[in-house]
Amino acid sequence: MEPHDGAFAVPVVLNDVITAKFIIDSGSADVSIPEEVASTLIKLGTLTGADLLGTKTYMLADGSLVPSKIYRLASVRIGGMVVQNVTVRISAAKSSLLLGQSFLSRLKSWSMDNSRQVMIIN
């Protein structure tokens, strides 16, 4: 885990093919990836039309409402912890990657140790 603009970011592996640093955002309903990450997953063949769940309208931190496509990711992994069939929101290009509740709420427990800068997952 590392500091990132007043929050913390952790390396996350999507569908066993892409590793990226995600901001831990417990206030976000779903994991959020920008269009370019979704496009890469599609090009690599690990995200298909069969994974499309539909669209959902999200309220952003600034109060604006944004409709977004939602997909099911086969797997999201942090270290040795893997969660399967995770709902992910496709956000605008160049958006932040957010690790939201569609992943975090599926963990038995998780916490942050600020002094050691680690995320503890049980």
- Report all structural domains of the chain as residue ranges with CATH numbers, in order of start: 2-121 (2.40.70.10)
Q: What band does 65 get if pLDDT is binned at 50, 70 and 90? A: very high
Taking all residues of the chain, what is their mean pLDDT, rounded to a whole number? Answer: 91
Q: Given this model, what pLDDT does residue 60 score?
A: 83
Q: Given this model, what pLDDT does residue 3 score?
A: 63
Written as one string, the DSSP assignment of 40-56 is HHHHTTSS-GGGEEEEE
* pLDDT tops 70 at residue 121: yes
* pLDDT tops 80 at residue 117: no
* pLDDT tops 70 at residue 122: yes
Q: What is the CA radius of gyration of the chain?
A: 14
C-alpha triplet 7, 12, 18: angle, nearest 5°: 130
Q: What is the mean pLDDT of residues 65-80?
A: 94
